Amino acid sequence: MSTDPRPDRTAVVTGASSGIGAATARALAAEGFHVVCAARRTDRVAALADEIGGTAVTCDVTDRGSVGALADAVATCHVLVNNAGGAIGLDPVESADPDHWRQMYDVNVIGVLHVTQALLPALRASGDGVVVNVGSTAGRGAYEGGGGYTAAKHALRVVTETLRLELNGEPIRISEVAPGMVHTEEFSLKRFGGDRDRAEAVYAGVDQPLLAEDVADAIAWIATRPSHVDVDELVIRPRAQAAAHKVHRS
Ligand code: 8X3
């Protein structure tokens, strides 16, 4: 538990309906934040907000109007976790569906733009804001079939760096947490269009992929550093994964 003397700190987490987002909402609530849980699925964020004493907001980060309603619900924001994102497909560049690439850019990059723009006034109003963008090791290298997702996560990495430069001198820190293999309920299932066998094969034989809670723990750590400490980026992988292509399987 944090010993921060400000119990009125507010955190906003997008994509809070499952996985890393939901785990982060729980971790920040445990650190004493009032957490605004934002996602498209109202029933899920409502249940989570109920559980952690937070606030639920139905929000589609790709829709500027919807994000505006999120901003209207938040006067002051100490921590913004731009977590909503995801991968679609694992097709090579030669045959990838451009619509999938657009959707990935839309949610992983434009979504972050929408939410960050909308909440910057509330982050400034806090006098000590932190933005944590949930990137990926896919933003640090390439792998076959990953083109659309790696392009989007590389873009997010650069947007994060750009924002840090642009806000230099303001009381707002900008971080990126970049997880490798995380076994969540939905990431691979979504990537493979609901094909459970294909999704589970991603983690087959891997001794302890990361869990959503491991990444949430890292995000909560970033968010609770002293005000002068900006964790620019934090890459986190399971021990079994030395690189995107180097995964030990039993
Ligand atoms: C998830 C990591 O390797 O599936 O962001 O691209 S990977």
pLDDT attached to residue 5: 44
Using most ligand atoms within 8 A of CB, pick from 133, 150, 176, 181 the residue to mutate for ligand 1. Answer: 181
Residue 75: phi and psi, rounded to 5, are -80, -40
How confident is the model at residue 7, as a pLDDT? 58
Mean pLDDT score of the chain: 96
Q: In what order do the strands lie in the sheet with 129-134?
A: 55-58, 34-39, 10-14, 79-82, 129-134, 172-179, 233-236
pLDDT score of 118 more than 80: yes
Q: Name residue 186's amino acid.
A: E
For residue 153, the ligand 1 atom closest to its alpha carbon is 5
| DSSP element (H, E) containing 68 | helix 64-72
140 CB burial (10 A radius; 0-12, 13-18, 19+)? middle
And the tokens for 212? 């959503």
CA 52, CA 54: separation in Å to the nearest integer? 5
The mean pLDDT of 69-84, rounded to a whole number, is: 97
Neighbours of 65 (CB within 10 A): 8
Judged on CB neighbours under 10 Å (0-12, 13-18, 19+), 168 is: exposed
Angle, CA 28 vertex, CA 232 and CA 211 arms, to 5°: 75
Q: What is the predicted pLDDT for the residue at 8?
A: 84
Whether residue 4 has pLDDT greater than 80: no
* C-alpha distances out from residue 184 to 6, 172, 181, 215, 229, Å: 32, 30, 9, 11, 30
Ligand 1 atom nearest residue 182's Cα: 1
Per-residue confidence (pLDDT) for residue 128, from 0 to 100? 97
The residue length of the chain stands at 250
Residues touching ligand 1 (Cβ under 6 Å) are 136-138, 146, 149, 180, 244
Instruction: Say how many Å lie between the CA of residue 214 and the centre of ligand 1.
Output: 15
Task: For residues 46-73, give the mean pLDDT.
Answer: 97
pLDDT over 80 at 247, yes or no: yes
The whole-model pTM stands at: 0.96
Residue 6 has pLDDT above 70, yes or no: no
pLDDT tens for residues 191-241? Answer: 999 999 999 999 999 999 999 999 999 999 999 999 999 999 999 999 999
Nearest to 151 by CA among 140, 163, 162, 160: 140
Crossing angle, helix 19-30 and helix 212-223, to 10 degrees? 50
- The atom of ligand 1 lying closest to the CA of 244 is 3
Q: How far apart are alpha carbons 86 and 177 in whole angstroms? A: 14
Domains (ranges, CATH) in the chain?
Answer: 10-236 (3.40.50.720)
Examine the pLDDT at 167 and tell me if it is beyond 60.
yes
Q: Catalytic residue positions? A: 149
pLDDT of residue 3: 46
Please tell me the predicted confidence (pLDDT) of residue 2: 44
Distance CA 161, CA 143 (A): 23
Residue 155 identity (one-letter amino acid): A
